[in-house]
Amino acid sequence: MPVKTETPEDEPAERPHYHGHRQRLRERFRKSGPDALSDYESLEMVLFASLPRRDAKPLAKSLLKKFGSFAEVMHAPEALLREVEGVGEASINQIKLIAAAATRIARGELRERILLSSWDDVIGYCRTSMAFADKEQFRLLFLDKRNQLIADEVQQMGTVDHTPVYPREVIKRALELSATALILVHKYPTRYPTCAFGHS
């Protein structure tokens, strides 16, 4: 009786057309850097790991059409990502991993140099860490006398339209950290945060 040979699920008999496309994208990325790729191509590469047996280009373009930019896809709420046809848990995990890595890198870079010494620095940092949050929150940025970031803490996380703030706790924490300056960031459940500055 002949023995039946099974083909693994991830090894189709014919090589899909997108495999060559993936290899070309990887080579272009290695040789020319990230600026050589468009937003949808960068998003394709993010999705490669979660879509090993599917062409990632249609899904990348659908995500960009819904959210507008690479950054907005990375920081989109999971519930909204699930509304896009073709997005599964593996893709969501991959997207959120990249978003978390970008936030961690940005914070690490900021702590290694003079931080938040201009309004643009503050806005850039806030956009990286919280601009796409879907719930209201009150965040505190504690600075030293050189405007270096000592700590970035979420004081309160609210609902979609409410977050309580306790001035006593804010001042207590600033004293504990010996902060000489304080930035209060109030994030509404819209795209951009608002900031207020204070000095001790």
Q: Which residues of the chain have pLDDT under 70?
A: 1-19, 107-115, 130-134, 156-165, 188-200
Looking at residue 193, the DSSP 8-state letter turns out to be -
Encode pLDDT of 88-110 as tens digits. 999 999 999 998 888 787 766 55
Q: What is the pLDDT of residue 87?
A: 94
Q: What is the pLDDT of residue 188?
A: 67
Answer yes or no: pTM beyond 0.85.
no
Q: What percent of the chain has pLDDT over 70?
A: 71
Q: What is the pLDDT of residue 155?
A: 75
Looking at residue 123, the DSSP 8-state letter turns out to be H
Q: Which segments of the chain does DSSP mark as H helices, in order?
A: 17-32, 39-47, 57-67, 70-74, 78-81, 89-111, 119-130, 167-176
Q: What is the pLDDT of residue 92?
A: 95
Residue with tokens 């599964």: 88
Size of the chain, expressed as the number of residues it contains: 200
| 123 Cβ neighbours under 8 A, 6+ residues apart | 195
Q: What is the pLDDT of residue 17?
A: 60
Could you tell me if 121 and 113 are in contact, meaning their C-beta atoms sit under 8 angstroms apart?
no
